[in-house]
Amino acid sequence: MPLLPGFQAVYDALFHEFRVTRSGRAFSPWEGEAITAAPGFSIGGAVLSVLESQQDEDLAEPDTVDEDLAAAVETLEVETAAEPTPSSPSPPSPPSQASAPRKARGKAGSKVRRQIARKAAKVNDHLRLLPPARRPKHVKAAVPVKTKFQLMKHRVASTGWIGLRDDGQSTQEKAVDFEEPGWTPSHQLQDFFGDRRRFKGFHKTRPLLDAAGRAFAIFAGHPDDPNWKRDVHDPAVEAMEAARAQCKVSEARRYHRRGHFPPLSAGDSYSGGQMQPGALVNGVINTAVLLALLSNVAFIRLAGFAIGVFANWAPNLFDYYIVHMRKFYRRYTHLHRPFLNSIWTACTFNLGPQTCCLGHRDFGNLAFGWCAVTALGDYDYTKGGHLILWDCKIILEFPPGCTILLPSAAIFHSNIPIGPNERRYSFTQYTSGGIFRWIEHGFQCEEDYFASLSEEEVSRERAEARGRWSKGVEYFSTLEELRSM
């Protein structure tokens, strides 16, 4: 079986003989000819020129240049002397005198490289957190789906940061006496569209409006690209199937409250008893599999499409994410979002081969935040794979390659099962509510935060927590507000 690119690199590094320096670095022998720079060329001057030219282009906070940077660069100056003639060759310098300048040049070069890397990292991070351009034409042409769902009255955790833990069955399921035994969904379309037609079904790109007219979710479909299936969907499915064959997920982890299929997650999170935010940990094999998925152009494009939909349909909520994520990643520079063209801190690849979820809430996500779900695979979306939004009393046809954005922490949702010979995978992006709480509490845990407050401040914080859900709901815009922007 062919190795993944990450495995191949490790294999080559382990079994190929390279020359090794005293520091342990391996390198291949130099077999070329030396190239002499033109007379008068100064590497130090060139570096300073680049730094000065980038100063005006730096969109992040201006970085302070070390006071001794200019002096360090001076040691990089290459004094180009006249070309020696055969009759008067230049005498070689004694080794004792040459070692000192060489060491100084090495230290100065390292300092310059670190300086440029810091500047590049800040510029890159800031640019990647800029909102994508809005597409008002999509908003104006959209036909909404109006519901009687009252988002403002929906219940979440008392802190307002995360959703309520589900008990495996929604209120609507209990009302119609539906139950899903086992590890795979059992609700069939005829359960809803038989003699008892309680739910709506649709598959076109539409915003979902609550009783107050807020666009609380958006079924986005996919871009109007005739090659979308060939260039994005099919490569993503192939990558999912390869990842499923090569990942190492224990049988116990394949059974979870969302169903029976292996999930692989990457990114940053703060939940489940973590002392502070950190990167999700995977084994060596699964890390290599995830790196292949995260670097796949198909998933990069899927991430970019979802974030464009986010910024277009919930600009106020998107700004809320931007403000908090900028604070978070400027403080924790060792952490990285899974996709630089996205705003979510984590993602999960549900590797199927029949990813159809049991009823659940993703309660650990930000309660009023959006989660992006993309369906992939080869299945008849008119017969299975539908997304059931139980609280909203809506069923959506969910064709392969399409994406929906919804507050998955607050809304109980599940899938209609697909046929026994069909394949279905899903790709989700999200941010835990704990990260937002950590930021708002001054980058400390809840216990330390409340311990630092006076009784009056604690009372104010409790009152703010009670109104956090209502305030979060206000970040969703009505269709009229979106069309007037």
CATH code, domain with 417: 3.60.130.30
B/e letters for 297-311, b = 16+ CB within 10 Å, e = fewer, are: ebbbbbbbbbbbbbb
pLDDT average, residue stretch 296-303: 96
pLDDT digits 0-9 by tens, 430-456: 999 999 999 999 999 988 999 999 999
DSSP 84: P
Q: Are the C-beta atoms of residues 382 and 422 closer than 8 Å to each other?
A: no
CA distance 477 to 2: 49
* Shared-domain flag, residues 115 and 260: no
On the question of pLDDT at 192 being above 70, the answer is no
Q: Are the C-beta atoms of residues 257 and 168 closer than 8 Å to each other?
A: yes
* Shared-domain flag, residues 115 and 140: no
Q: In the prediction, which pLDDT does 12 show?
A: 47
Q: In the prediction, which pLDDT does 53 show?
A: 44
Q: In the prediction, which pLDDT does 31 show?
A: 54
Q: In the prediction, which pLDDT does 474 show?
A: 94
CA distance 18 to 421: 49
pLDDT-based confidence at residue 130 (cuts at 50, 70, 90): low
Q: In the prediction, which pLDDT does 51 show?
A: 42
Counted domains in the chain: 2
CA distance 345 to 325: 8
* Shared-domain flag, residues 145 and 103: no
**Is residue 223 situated within a structural domain?**
yes
Q: In the prediction, which pLDDT does 68 show?
A: 38
CA distance 108 to 111: 5
* Shared-domain flag, residues 123 and 195: no
Q: In the prediction, which pLDDT does 146 show?
A: 85
**Is residue 78 situated within a structural domain?**
no
Residue span of the structural domain in which 432 resides: 136-440
% residues pLDDT > 90 (the chain): 46
pLDDT digits 0-9 by tens, 93-107: 444 454 555 666 566
* Shared-domain flag, residues 124 and 160: no
On the question of pLDDT at 388 being above 70, the answer is yes
Query: Could you tell me how many residues make up the chain?
Result: 485
- Which of the given ranges, 65-69, 118-122, 147-151, 287-291, has the highest pLDDT on average? 287-291
* Shared-domain flag, residues 242 and 336: yes
**Is residue 238 situated within a structural domain?**
yes
* Shared-domain flag, residues 124 and 150: no
* Shared-domain flag, residues 427 and 359: yes
B/e letters for 69-100, b = 16+ CB within 10 Å, e = fewer, are: beebbebbeeeeeeeeeeeeeeeeeeeeeeee
On the question of pLDDT at 58 being above 60, the answer is no
pLDDT digits 0-9 by tens, 233-290: 999 999 999 999 999 988 888 887 888 899 999 999 997 678 899 999 999 999 999 9
Detail the DSSP E strand segments found in 138-245: 145-146, 200-202, 206-209, 215-221
On the question of pLDDT at 59 being above 50, the answer is no
What is the bridge-based pairing of β-strands 200-202 and 394-396? parallel
On the question of pLDDT at 121 being above 90, the answer is no
pLDDT average, residue stretch 14-21: 48
pLDDT digits 0-9 by tens, 315-373: 999 999 999 999 999 999 999 899 999 999 999 999 989 999 988 899 899 999 999 99
